[in-house]
Chains A and B, each alone.
Chain A
Amino acid sequence: MKLSGSEIIIESLKKEGVDYIFGYPGGAVLHIYDALFAAKDIKHVLVRHEQGATHAADGYARACNKPGVVLVTSGPGITNCVTGIATAHMDSIPMIVISGQVSRQYVGSDAFQEADATGITRPICKHNFLINDRESIADTFRKAFIIATTGRPGPVIIDIPKDLTDPNVKIDFEYKKNIKIRSYKIKTNEDENKIEEAAKILCSAKKPMIYSGGGVILSKASKELIKLTKLLNYPITNTLMGLGAYPSSDDQFLGMLGMHGTYEANMAMHDCDVLLAVGARFDDRVTGDTKQFCPKAKIIHIDIDPSSISKIIEVDHSLIGDTKKILRKLTSFSSKYKKNINRTAIEKWWKKIKSWQRKNCLSYKKSKEVIKPQSVIETLHTLSKGKSFVTSDVGQHQMWVAQYYKFDKPNRWINSGGLGTMGFGLPAAIGAQLAYPKEQVICVTGEASILMCIQELSTCLQYGLPIKIINLNNRYMGMVRQWQEFFYEGRYAMSYMDAIPNFAKLAESFGHIGMVIDKPENLENDLKTALNHKNRLVFVDVITDQTENVYPMIVSGKGHHEMHLAPSANEDIELA
């Protein structure tokens, strides 16, 4: 079969099972778009800004664990993708970004819309390619998909000069599924003796703790994690990225840990004697002061990425490989050593944990005058029965979703954890909604974040996406304001959002339904009305309490046991 470079690209994508491409056309990719025009199996989603394409592909990947695919032009097309690629990279999300490049004869001449795509994206992706000859297009695509989806996943960029996609030059096409990349090695299996040793350590614990992260979701190991945790009857906490991997409604779940984690999760981390870390990377928002991190614990760490081991916290026992496989073996070895578990000690440990839980650290002062942002999330959770896909932007609202929307299933919680990208929520919701057209997708955002990618409302109309946008509007960049209140003596430099648009009208002008909720007594009914619009996007502008803060809070650089609790959880803010 003889095909042009553009046709090879489309055929390669078909062979990889790609059903959606998120993109924006331009000069350097017009040949590819022309080939795409003829392709029936692949649907193209036209975004309104290339950053939106990357976040949408990212949201798609997070929702359904398949790589998201982006197609953009050279120059500004690819530079607009930088934030989205970095976002995916920080959270290890599989993504393929195809960018056009000026024709080879012009490369390096400062041609129109020329940018060094591979140079710009090198530090923010798992790998990138600049294709040099037509013959290597197919192999490069196969390699890109292998690299993006295996091991610790991540974004891969393929930059392709326009002349290589010329429809008039055709070459033989063969898609080799089994390509070897000699320099790319992934260790997926761990030595059984090491896993058995870990089981022995786990079963010798008197105050055990399990801490799991996004790696569990990426390796689809949620079932295995639940099985092990249930077998041992140990307490478990999830990172921001790991929420949903273990059901929040389960009694053994202590909530999220870290900077805005629960009192019980953080105290249990501080006091535990054996810590099992699964697919987590000891991020600074999780560890706080590394010198005071789990000071009494022997740490076992399961991860697919060898460079995650002992990067931030020195661990005692590492298991490198696929989390799913290792958890399975660890569970079977643990059932062998389960008889060694000191049940009295574990009971005592649970008693201690229950006493921490009585602090009720997520309680907040209810109000009849102003809408409390926490109550919005709680109401959303009740109305959607906790089953929705929820995306968020970054800031206070993100933390409140993490704390109050009790996720019971993996892949339902979609947010930018590592890079903390404002503007992520709406385009990510587009990706999630396309991955699951029948499911309810909610984007919880704030009036500052939503304006960063507001143009994608137009995309939502074009593709009839019935996303529900819940805008927690407190007229402040809430998290910035919170830090300024705590650490800058209330000098609110540039954190007030002046000149806020009328969001309901804005949404209407984009062809959607706009709503405003500003009274606590209307919250439940109006939210219900919004969620009941099955086929329309509804933008709900919720006017919330301007002064609410996210609690508990560990100030950066402090230990897990040094939390600030909400004024309502105790008489005063207390240093626990």
Chain B
Amino acid sequence: MNEDKRHIVSLLVENEFGSLSRIAGLFSARGYNIHCLSVAPTSDDSISRMTLVTYCTDAKSSQLMKQLDKLVDVINVKDLTDETHIEREMLLLKVKSTLKQRDELKRLTDIFRARIIDVTDTTYTIELTGPTEKILAFIDSLGKIKIVEQVRSGALGISRGSESLEIKK
């Protein structure tokens, strides 16, 4: 397979300073792109969980997995792409909302099961959670409504079923 494809990768890393830049640095040093990246602590304070999305060929992604695994701070790494997994992303969107557009906006947020979380006389701020496609579809559906500010969390991923990304002994 020589075509670039979307890969979603889950990582457990030591929660030490420098860990994030080691991972980001590996991408730039070896010519990979980071499409999006999210990092947060886990229930164990000493470990962070990362999810990142990159576009590359299957051959490059298998090399990428090995390079990530080689980093001393990486505890475990897994490419979720080809197994059943769940992805979620959060969108916070501030849009212009004139009187005429308010009904339409309300309808769209209901259809997408989004929520309006802040209102001013000229704007609505909307929160939406879902897979990346749903986020994109929602943004697309706004048509001519003007987006003032768009904040996305990037994808989070977890595998389906009872398996989990473990701390390898």
Contacts and interface: CB of A to CB of B under 8 A. Distances in A.
B139 to A, nearest CB: 36
B70 A183 contact: no
Interface in B5-30: 13-14, 17-18, 21-22, 25, 29
B25 A123 contact: yes
Interface stretch (A36-44, A260-268, A305-313, A544-552): A305-313
Interface stretch (B32-40, B61-69, B94-102, B117-125): B61-69
B18 A183 contact: no
Contacts of A181: 72
| Interface bin, chain A | 20 to 34
Contacts of A123: 25, 29
B73 interface: yes
B21 A183 contact: no
Interface centre among B14, B63, B72 (most CB of A within 10 A): B72
Given A126-B72, A305-B70, A307-B66, A183 B22 contact: no
Contact of B74 (A126, A183, A307, A311): A183
Contacts of A184: 72
21 contacts: A122-B18, A122-B25, A123-B25, A128-B18, A147-B72, A181-B72, A182-B167, A182-B168, A182-B169, A183-B13, A183-B14, A183-B72, A183-B73, A183-B74, A183-B75, A184-B72, A305-B70, A306-B66, A310-B62, A310-B63, A311-B63
Interface residues of B, number: 22
A130 B18 CA distance: 9
Given A126-B72, A307-B69, 14 more contacts: A118-B18, A122-B18, A122-B25, A181-B72, A182-B167, A182-B168, A183-B14, A183-B73, A305-B70, A307-B66, A310-B59, A310-B62, A310-B63, A314-B59
Given A130-B18, A185-B168, A311-B63, A306 B70 contact: yes
B21 A122 contact: yes
Contacts of A307: 63, 66-67, 69-70
Interface of A: 118-119, 122-123, 126-128, 130, 147, 181-185, 305-307, 309-311, 314
A185 B21 CA distance: 21
Contacts of B70: 305-307
A127 B167 contact: no
Nearest to B62: A310
A183 B75 CA distance: 4
A182 B75 contact: yes
B160 to A, nearest CB: 26
A175 B137 CA distance: 58
Nearest to A181: B72
Contacts of B62: 310
Nearest to A132: B17
A122 B24 CA distance: 11
Contacts of B167: 182
Nearest to B22: A122
A310 B63 CA distance: 8
A10 to B, nearest CB: 25
Contacts of B168: 182, 185
Contacts of B66: 306-307, 309
Nearest to A127: B72
Nearest to A307: B66
A440 to B, nearest CB: 38
A128 B168 CA distance: 22
Nearest to B17: A130
Contacts of B14: 183
Interface centre among B13, B18, B167, B169 (most CB of A within 10 A): B18
B59 to A, nearest CB: 8
A306 B63 CA distance: 9
A31 to B, nearest CB: 24
B36 to A, nearest CB: 22
Interface in B132-166: none
Contacts of A305: 70
Nearest to A311: B63
Contacts of B73: 183
Contacts of B18: 118, 122, 128, 130
Nearest to A308: B66
A307 B69 CA distance: 9
Contacts of B13: 183
Interface string B78-94: 00000000000000000
A181 B13 CA distance: 12
A117 B13 CA distance: 22
B39 to A, nearest CB: 16
Contacts of B17: 130
A390 B38 CA distance: 50
A123 B25 CA distance: 7
B169 to A, nearest CB: 8
Would you list the 8 A-B pairs with minimal beta carbon distance, nearest first? Answer: A307-B66, A183-B75, A127-B72, A306-B66, A123-B29, A307-B70, A307-B67, A184-B72
B114 to A, nearest CB: 39
B69 A306 contact: yes
Nearest to A151: B70
Contacts of B169: 182
Nearest to A156: B72
A185 B73 CA distance: 11
Contacts of B69: 306-307
Interface centre among A126, A127, A183 (most CB of B within 10 A): A183
